[in-house]
């Protein structure tokens, strides 16, 4: 009976030990599973999508600014692209509230607060854009109505000659202010308005029409500087510092999440090692005779855990390598290519199999000389890294700019084992810079230099004439009969007519001369390096003859002429702005003399305005 009791108790203890072992294994399995989930909580794809949304938000803000500037400068005459850019940017800003799951609660609250503040700033920017569109449309209406009303009043028969002269003087200053809204021109407009008021007091005929014209002139005087201010206020409504702060906060949140995942991976490793040790110790107690098997099992378990950790790290590195938006290139110490990522093939056009074992000089373009590459390798040898802009050539033979960073990888002995090159194609940024420069300095319709570029070239031409003792001429051109073409055939035909006039003007001058469009049907021709007045006269006569030739547009035979005012330097020894004004005054004299002719400004007899 005693033996049976002892046997029963021994069996019961063994059963309890097995249950305890099963419970411990189940507990550790749950802990390990939870740790594994936490160690892989940071999703590279989700991180990539969110950072791409942040970049697209910055690009959307820049596109809104570009469209606003384009509409203000009348490069663009509709708001379709602006509305699309605003809607797209708002959608991106709203999507930012969907934060990745790996972001902690505290950082989630901070990021949500920043995103809400950014959305508030974006709504303010959108409100400013809506106000800008309304005010810009009002200004455009006044700018369109004003010259038409002036022409109608000047051609009216019931107005006196003095009143017409005062009206013409006032209109010229208002239109000059519309082209250059400076304080000096504002003073001139106000003075011209007072003169017109005095003339109107003496000649009450046409008072209602002139007062209506003055209302539009006052609107232009008041609205134009405000629109310029609104334009720059829109640009700064969504500060880049706020976008940078949001991006930095998200990067910090991602780093913290990645750091936490790394901690969980290390805990997972130590728990796995502890579990292996515990299992080995338990098996030793249960089966003293299986020492060799336990040692083998312990060794296999330890190696398996180490292999799992190594594979996890390799998968993480491979994910970053394969999914990187930037091109990555790995070479050995001799510069032979060991591996490239998919972004490399997308940017260069070379497949991975085409470049393995080859030297990166196959991407070399002719943009850089030998000294440039010598300096690059000298910097790599001395400092172990190099970073900068470089022009390379893709598989199709096209050159493209890229931002390149090269780093040397050294072994424990300090010897270079390999090189890692990371590069980004910045062609789009370069194209945007060129487009902005083109928009800022050229007329959108004709492609000719605008007033801004003309002013710069005119100042350079004056400086050159002073140094070299040569002569130059500023020719102010205004088309005769352009308004009837617009009224009869519409603005599209008028635009084609202006393009053809610009082409003919460009053919009439030398390569060193400049043809610019100020706006409407007004052009400036800058003639440089003239030796005598006859050269200027021949050029002006060529222009008169070229414009007087019939112009055929869409089966229409159109006839226009041009009135030209010429300011001759250094006989008219004034600055660049005054030369344009004197040429403008001479052009009006040419129109008054019968049109289709030119008039040379005489500093001694013509009174400057």
Catalytic site positions: 521
Peptide bond into 570 cis (omega under 30): yes
Strands (E) in 358-497, as ranges, are 385-393, 399-410, 416-425, 471-480
Please name the residue that has the structure tokens 């007329």. 443
Q: Rounded CA gap, 465 and 574, in Å? A: 12
3-state secondary structure (DSSP) of residue 339: strand
**Residues whose CB falls within 8 Å of the CB of residue 530, separated by 6 or more in sequence, listed in order:** 470, 471, 472, 473, 536
What is the DSSP code (8-state) at residue 549?
Answer: S
CA distance 213 to 77: 24
Catalogue the long-range contacts made by 353-361 (C-beta closer than 8 Å, 24 or more residues apart).
Answer: 354/395, 359/335, 360/329, 360/331, 360/335, 360/421, 361/335
DSSP 607: P
Q: Which two tokens stand for residue 176?
A: 């000059």
Give me the residues paired with residue 558 across strands: 551
H helices of 324-450, where? 342-348, 352-355, 370-383, 427-441
Query: Alpha-carbon distance 487 to 474, whole Å?
Result: 30
**Residue from 217, 107, 233, 133 nearest 172 by CA:** 217
For residue 478, what are the contacts with CB-CB under 8 A and spacing of at least 6?
521, 522, 523, 562, 563, 587, 591
Nearest-10 Cα torsion for 207, 210, 211, 213: 160
What are 502's two structure tokens? 């610009």
Burial of 376 (0-12, 13-18, 19+ CB in 10 A): middle
- Provide the strand spans (E) within 481-559: 514-519, 522-530, 551-553, 556-558
Q: Which two tokens stand for residue 448?
A: 């000719």
Question: Counting Cβ atoms within 10 Å, is residue 336 exposed (0-12), middle (13-18) or buried (19+)?
Answer: middle
Q: Which two tokens stand for residue 402?
A: 């890229």
């Amino acid at each position: 009976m005693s033996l049976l009791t002892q046997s029963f108790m021994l069996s019961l203890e063994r059963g309890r030990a097995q249950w305890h072992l099963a419970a411990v294994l189940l507990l550790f399995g749950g802990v390990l599973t939870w740790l594994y989930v936490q160690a892989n909580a940071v999703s590279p794809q989700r991180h990539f999508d969110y950072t791409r949304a942040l970049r697209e938000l910055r690009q959307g803000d820049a596109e809104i600014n570009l469209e606003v500037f384009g509409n203000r400068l009348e490069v663009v005459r509709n708001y379709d692209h602006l509305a699309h850019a605003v809607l797209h940017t708002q959608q991106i800003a709203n999507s930012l509230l969907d934060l990745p799951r790996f972001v902690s609660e505290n950082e989630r609250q901070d990021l949500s607060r920043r995103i809400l503040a950014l959305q508030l700033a974006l709504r303010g920017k959108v409100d400013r854009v809506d106000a800008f569109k309304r005010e810009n449309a009002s200004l455009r209406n006044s700018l369109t109505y004003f010259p038409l009303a002036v022409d109608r009043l000047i051609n009216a028969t019931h107005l006196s000659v003095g009143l017409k002269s005062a009206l013409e003087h006032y209109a010229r200053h208002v239109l000059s202010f519309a082209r250059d809204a400076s304080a000096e021109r504002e003073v001139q407009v106000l003075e011209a308005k007072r003169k017109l008021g005095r003339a109107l007091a003496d000649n009450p005929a046409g008072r209602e029409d002139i007062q209506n014209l003055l209302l539009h002139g006052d609107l232009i005087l008041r609205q134009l500087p405000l629109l310029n201010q609104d334009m720059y206020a829109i640009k700064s409504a969504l500060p880049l510092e706020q976008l940078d702060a949001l991006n930095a906060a998200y990067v910090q949140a991602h780093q913290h999440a990645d750091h936490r995942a790394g901690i969980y991976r290390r805990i997972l490793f130590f728990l796995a090692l502890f579990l292996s040790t515990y299992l080995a110790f338990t098996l030793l107690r249960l089966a003293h005779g299986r020492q060799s098997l336990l040692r083998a099992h312990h060794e296999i378990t330890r190696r398996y855990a180490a292999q799992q950790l190594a594979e996890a790290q390799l998968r993480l590195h491979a994910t970053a390598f394969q999914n990187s938006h930037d091109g990555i290139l790995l070479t050995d110490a001799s510069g032979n290519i060991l591996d490239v990522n998919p972004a490399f093939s997308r940017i260069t056009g070379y497949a991975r199999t085409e470049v393995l074992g080859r030297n990166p000089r196959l991407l070399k373009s002719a943009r850089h000389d030998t000294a440039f590459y010598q300096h690059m390798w000298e910097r790599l040898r001395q400092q172990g890294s190099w970073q900068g802009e470089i022009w390379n050539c893709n598989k199709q033979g096209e050159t493209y700019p890229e931002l390149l960073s090269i780093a040397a990888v050294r072994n424990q002995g300090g010897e270079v084992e390999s090189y890692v090159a990371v590069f980004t194609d910045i062609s789009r940024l370069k194209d945007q810079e060129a487009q902005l420069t083109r928009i800022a300095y050229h007329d959108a319709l004709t492609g000719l230099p605008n007033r801004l570029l003309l002013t710069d070239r005119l100042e350079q031409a004056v400086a050159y004439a002073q140094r070299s003792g040569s002569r130059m001429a500023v020719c102010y051109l205004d088309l005769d009969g352009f308004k009837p073409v617009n009224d009869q055939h519409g603005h599209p035909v008028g635009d084609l007519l202006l393009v053809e006039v610009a082409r003919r003007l460009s053919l009439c001058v030398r390569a060193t001369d400049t043809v610019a469009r100020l706006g409407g049907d007004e052009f400036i021709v800058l003639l440089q390096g003239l030796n005598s007045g006859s050269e200027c006269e021949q050029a002006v006569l060529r222009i008169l003859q070229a414009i007087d030739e019939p112009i055929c547009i869409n089966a229409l035979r159109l006839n226009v002429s041009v009135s030209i005012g010429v300011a001759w330097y250094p006989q008219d020894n004034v600055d660049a702005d005054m030369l344009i004004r004197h040429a403008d005054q001479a052009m009006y004299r040419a129109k008054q003399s019968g049109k289709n002719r030119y008039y040379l400004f005489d500093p001694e007899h013509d009174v400057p305005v």
